[in-house]
Amino acid sequence: RKEVEQDPGPFNVPEGATVAFNCTYSNSASQSFFWYRQDCRKEPKLLMSVYSSGNEDGRFTAQLNRASQYISLLIRDSKLSDSATYLCVVNQAGTALIFGKGTTLSVSS
C-alpha cells in the first residue's frame, strides 16, 4: 500500500465550478499535512498546510480527518489559473516530506 494515495485524475471542470480532491495516508504517526501545487514543468510549491480544525485560504479549503487518515482540498469558483497538479503531502516530525502521485486539474473557459 502506498503511503499517500490520491484520487486518480485528470479533473476537467469549467470556470466557476467547485472541485474536491481527496487523499488518504497509511502512516498513523504522520503529524504534518500539506497540499502542494505543481505547474507543468515547474517545481512543487506549497499551497497550504492542513490543520485538524480545517482551514481556509480564499477559495481553497483544506480538511483533515485523523481518525480516517483522510485529507481533502476544496476549490471554489475555479479559475483558469488553478489548472495544475495538486500534490497531497504528509510527514512525521523531522522527516522528509512524502508526496502523493498528484491529481491534475484542468479548468476550461
Partner 1 sequence: EAGVAQSPRYKIIEKRQSVAFWCNPISGHATLYWYQQILGQGPKLLIQFQNNGVVDDSQLPKDRFSAERLKGVDSTLKIQPAKLEDSAVYLCASSLVQGLGYTFGSGTRLTVV
With beta carbons less than 8 A apart as the criterion, state whether 33 and 50 touch.
yes
In the structure grid, which three cell numbers stand for residue 60, read together? Answer: 481553497
Q: Give the interface segment with partner 1, choosing from 12-20, 55-63, 73-81, 91-99 (CB under 8 A).
A: 91-99
Contact flag: residue 106 with partner 1 (CB under 8 A)? no
Residues 16-75 that bind partner 1 (CB under 8 A): 32, 42-46
Q: Is 11 in the site for partner 1 (CB under 8 A)?
A: no
Least distance CB 73 / partner 1 (angstroms): 15
